[in-house]
Chain A
Amino acid sequence: MSITKEQTSNQQIKWFDSFTKVMLSVMFVLLLFIFGAGKYMASHNMEAGGTDDLVNNLATKVTKGEHHPFAELPGDAQVGAFSVANFFAGLIVGHHWEKLFGRPKNEEQSLEVE
């Protein structure tokens, strides 16, 4: 059976495939957990600070000196830095994931034709 290029490209754009569904489900579960935990901690007046900071502060009490990260990012700048870094990290992982774990083209085509 022969198919046109247009038909093939239409068939191949299956954006809500099983991989996307699984990834979205995992993401929602993680986000729900984070929101749930955040809500609980807020209601119990917990700081929700990082343990790295906690231990670094503990160590500073011993050294009686100043500790500081190499780059200090105030307020929302840290959210911005994390977003940019994770966006591009996601692109790189996705790019290599497709190369390594994606279905081979001939297998994909035969599935589409069937």
Chain B
Amino acid sequence: MHIEDGILSPLAWGSWYAVTTAFVIPGLREIQKKVKENLSYKPFLAMTGVAVFVISAMHLPVPVTGSCSHPCGTPLAAIIVGPLATAVISAIVLFFQAIFLGHGGITTIGANTFSMGIVGGISGYLSWKILCSLRSPLWLAAGVAGFVGDILTYLTSSFELALSLHGHVPLLKQWMIFFMGYGPTQLPLAIAEAAFTAAVLQVMVNRRPDLLPGIKLRQKSSREVKPNVNH
């Protein structure tokens, strides 16, 4: 989903910057608010941002398709630090990946943040919330969030390319052409992302449920929780 410079037209990448900004500004406000409420939030956010940086630059080979791709990490980030804050950290992550690792581009930070940080984060977060409200097991809700967030990230990236480049070809057809470039490799990685999201979230809930207020209530009913940091 790292679209490079020179592919999207100025109108297209400018529009994606505008759309992304509409999520990043409330994200910055949310971060400022949460930092004041919770002393642990800042290191938690830093750790999550760095984790997204590493996860979304970790290319894994998929032998069936003969190519490599990477998970996103944003569904997990959205669950633990919030979807709007995830948009902010994704923009920062994509900026550093573009300038230091040659992943993506500067003009495409808006489009790439929209696919990975906003759609990936929000869809993962919504899947998580819906399954939690249906009292699904924690690992299942987190796993589905990881899977949905991952696949929707790549669907959005293909859509961004198709919308800008479809020309006389029907949009849906061009969209699916681009998605088929990602899809076969991304499917096993989405399953891996599901397992990873479930495992990491379970560890965090076992260790620090107080950092995850949405989950704390469910956990407290089954066993007493003892946070180890006083705010």
* B105 contacts the other chain (CB 8 A): yes
On chain A, the residues within 8 Å of B51 by CB distance are 89, 93
Separation of A54 and B2 alpha carbons in the complex (Å): 11
Separation of A67 and B43 alpha carbons in the complex (Å): 37
Q: Which of B11-46 contact A (CB under 8 A)?
A: 40, 43-44, 46
Separation of A93 and B48 alpha carbons in the complex (Å): 8
- B side interface size, CB within 8 A: 55
A12 CB to closest chain B CB, in angstroms? 17
Separation of A51 and B158 alpha carbons in the complex (Å): 12
On chain B, the residues within 8 Å of A60 by CB distance are 6-7
**Which of B96-104, B123-131, B139-147 sits within the interface?**
B96-104
On chain B, the residues within 8 Å of A24 by CB distance are none
* B106 contacts the other chain (CB 8 A): yes
A101 touches B204 (CB 8 A): yes
Separation of A60 and B150 alpha carbons in the complex (Å): 24
Separation of A50 and B147 alpha carbons in the complex (Å): 20
**B residues within 8 Å of A by Cβ?**
1-7, 40, 43-44, 46-47, 50-51, 53-54, 57, 59-63, 66-70, 96, 98-106, 157-158, 161, 165, 167, 177-178, 181-182, 185-186, 203-204, 207-208, 211, 228-229
25 residue pairs from A and B, CB less than 8 Å apart: A37-B61, A38-B61, A41-B61, A44-B66, A47-B67, A48-B68, A50-B69, A51-B69, A51-B185, A55-B157, A63-B7, A65-B7, A67-B4, A70-B5, A70-B99, A71-B98, A85-B57, A89-B53, A89-B54, A93-B51, A96-B47, A99-B40, A99-B43, A100-B43, A101-B207
